[in-house]
């Protein structure tokens, strides 16, 4: 599968969200938006109340780092990818129903401490698996290389599923994640701290073996 770099946005205000989308949308197909509720993780970001009328020149994937993710998904109709955390879900049927009703697709995210064998039985429900290579909650953290073993295991068991990696991704760590089997690289600081966003995105993609 071709390697894709996806800018990840973690912000607290709609104005900053829109500014960051505008900065990267000419250079990518998809934007990753982090949503935190200060319950599942100790941080709070923009939420569905800030997502009305988002620019339509890119696709969106929503990373729901929240308790009761199905209630958030219900507020976001459209062909979006909804990545929900294994650790936050009590009823997968309810989550699937919410995603289907919203018209989107399901992704399953998991924290660095969660064993891959707990994700495997759910993989056939999802379009994508999101492996966290940092503990979710804040950007700017260091990549946890031990997660690569889990990416390799999941890639071996599910050769056709999309696998995304999120956390501490730059050209170097992106290359490691891609070698382990990831085909989607979500990057935040490495893109948004760079003066030239297009060049930063290209560096991560080339580092991971993409063209």
Please list the active-site residues.
34, 166
Joined tokens for residue 104: 């989107």
CA distance readout (Å), 75 to 48, 72, 144: 7, 5, 33
Contact (CB, 8 A) for 165 and 145: no
Strands (E), the chain: 4-9, 30-36, 59-65, 81-85, 105-110, 128-132, 162-166, 184-187
Residue with tokens 């071996």: 156
List the Cα angle 32/29/158 in 5-degree steps. 70
**Token match 């912000």: residue?**
11
Q: Tokens 């993710």 sit at which residue?
A: 69
> For residues 205 and 152, what is the distance between their CA atoms, to the nearest angstrom?
19
Q: How far is CA 21 from the centre of its chain?
A: 15
The strand pair at 59-65 and 81-85 is best described as: parallel
């Amino acid at each position: 599968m071709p390697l894709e770099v996806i800018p990840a946005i973690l912000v607290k205000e709609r104005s900053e969200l829109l500014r960051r989308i505008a900065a990267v949308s000419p250079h990518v197909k998809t934007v990753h938006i982090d949503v935190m509720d200060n319950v599942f993780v100790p941080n709070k970001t923009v939420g569905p109340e800030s997502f009305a009328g988002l620019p339509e020149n890119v696709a969106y994937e929503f990373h729901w780092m929240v308790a009761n993710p199905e209630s958030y998904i219900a507020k976001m109709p459209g062909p979006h990818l909804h990545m929900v955390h294994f650790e936050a879900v009590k009823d997968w049927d309810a989550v699937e129903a919410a995603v289907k009703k919203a018209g989107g697709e399901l992704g399953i995210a998991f924290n660095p401490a969660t064993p891959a064998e707990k994700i495997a039985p759910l993989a056939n429900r999802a379009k994508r698996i999101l492996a966290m290579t940092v503990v979710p909650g804040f950007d700017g953290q260091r990549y946890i290389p031990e997660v690569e073993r889990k990416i390799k295991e999941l890639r071996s068991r599910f050769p056709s599923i999309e696998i995304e990696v999120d956390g501490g991704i730059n050209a170097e760590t992106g290359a490691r994640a891609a070698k382990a089997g990831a085909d989607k690289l979500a990057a935040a600081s490495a893109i948004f701290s760079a003066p030239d966003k297009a060049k930063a995105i290209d560096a991560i993609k080339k580092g991971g073996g993409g063209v």
